[in-house]
Amino acid sequence: MSLVEDARHVRENAYVPYSHFKVGAAIRAASGAVYTGCNVENAAFPEGTCAEAGAIAAMVAAGDTEIAEVAVIADSPHPVSPCGGCRQKLAEFARGDVPVTLATVAGATLETTVSELLPGVFDQSYMSRP
Ligand code: THU
């Protein structure tokens, strides 16, 4: 199954009583394992979590910390754009050239990369001292 199909499948489980906007994300780690996540909303709106964050949490919990490929899908008019926070979260575990497929339920896709999504990322290199 392709990573987009994994994301499409997990999207069905999204808990979205407030936005009614289901998102699914799938990550292939460098180990080859695939991790998925969906958005999980909350009556206290800021406590909701994005699909990408769920997939990253599953990956780290399983012991993987290197992302090799990402797919995100939603029922949007054009391929869904990861929010700014999720771009930063992905960049924590992915090199800039890691491919990201953005998709719609209808079948449109847009191929991009982590560095295209977040140029000028703040990363741990800024915190190292000579
Ligand atoms: N959402 C995601 O899960 N990922 C994104 O990158 C964009 C937004 C979710 C959050 C919220 O549950 C719903 O989409 C509407 O913003």
Tell me the pLDDT tens digit for each residue of 13-69.
Answer: 999 999 999 999 999 999 999 999 999 999 999 999 999 999 999 999 999 999 999
Determine the distance separating the centroid of ligand 1 and the alpha carbon of 53, expressed in angstroms. 10
As for how many domains the chain has, the answer is 1
3-state secondary structure of 85: helix
Confirm if 37 and 104 have CB atoms less than 8 A apart: no
Determine the distance separating the centroid of ligand 1 and the alpha carbon of 102, expressed in angstroms. 13
User: With pLDDT > 70 as the criterion, what percentage of the chain qualifies?
Assistant: 99
d(CA 62, CA 125): 25
pLDDT at 128: 79
Determine the distance separating the centroid of ligand 1 and the alpha carbon of 50, expressed in angstroms. 5
> Which stretches does DSSP call E strand in the chain?
23-29, 34-38, 67-74, 99-104, 109-113
d(CA 65, CA 23): 22
Q: Is 47 a catalytic residue?
A: no
Specify the DSSP class assigned to residue 12.
Answer: T
Q: 120 forms bridges with which residues in the sheet?
A: none
Confirm if 51 and 38 have CB atoms less than 8 A apart: yes
Ligand 1 atom closest to 51 (CA): 3
Instruction: State if pTM tops 0.75.
Output: yes
Domain that holds residue 118: 3-126
3-state secondary structure of 44: coil
Ligand 1 surroundings by CB, under 6 angstroms: 16, 19, 21, 23, 39, 41, 48, 50-52, 82-83, 86
Q: How many other C-beta atoms can be found within 10 angstroms of the C-beta atom of residue 28?
A: 20
CATH code (residue 66): 3.40.140.10
pLDDT of 80 strictly over 80: yes
Confirm if 90 and 99 have CB atoms less than 8 A apart: no
CA-nearest residue for atom 13, ligand 1, is: 21
